[in-house]
Amino acid sequence: MTDNSFDLKIKLIHGFSNKVRLQILECIKEKEKTVSQIVDELKGNQSNISQHLACLKGCGIIVGRNEGKYCYYSLRNERIRDLLEMFDTVLEDVHSDVSCCANHID
């Protein structure tokens, strides 16, 4: 694996590693939604959600589709959904052991 694709891998994973982003992904997992639908459902801040959507898009995790003044976001493809489900599977294994690790390092 080249340095560059290694960095891309980190960027991809980083996309998943934030609560709001993960909530967005859960929110649009089954069907595409507009930004304001997402903002409503998550009871979030429009600016904040919009930034996270830009990040997810930049990371290749989601795609946006413009329709008039609306923008619909959805998972990029089935593999992203698989990955999300894989996280849950792995989590079941790990469950009891993750409880420490208060931040990245400690």
Partner DNA sequence: CAGACATATTAGATAGTGCTAATATGATTG
Partner DNA sequence: CAATCATATTAGCACTATCTAATATGTCTG
47 part of the interface to its own copies, by CB under 8 A:
no
43 contact choice in DNA, its own copies, none (CB below 5 to 8 Å, kind-dependent): none
13 contact choice in DNA, its own copies, none (CB below 5 to 8 Å, kind-dependent): its own copies
End-to-end Cα, the chain, rounded Å: 29
Candidates 13, 30, 36, 46: give the one binding its own copies (CB under 8 A): 13
Candidates 32, 40, 72, 76: give the one binding its own copies (CB under 8 A): 76
Distances (CA, A) of 96 to 21, 90, 93: 24, 12, 8
CA-to-CA distance for 30 and 1, rounded, in angstroms? 33
Q: Which residue lies nearer to its own copies by CB, 68 or 98? A: 98
Token digits for 63? 């795609």
49 part of the interface to its own copies, by CB under 8 A:
no
b/e sequence 46-72, b meaning 16+ C-beta within 10 Å:
eeebeebbebbeebebbeeeeeeeebb
| Interface residue list for its own copies (CB under 8 A) | 1, 5-19, 22-23, 26, 51-52, 54-55, 57-61, 76-77, 79-80, 82-83, 86-91, 93-95, 97-101, 104-106
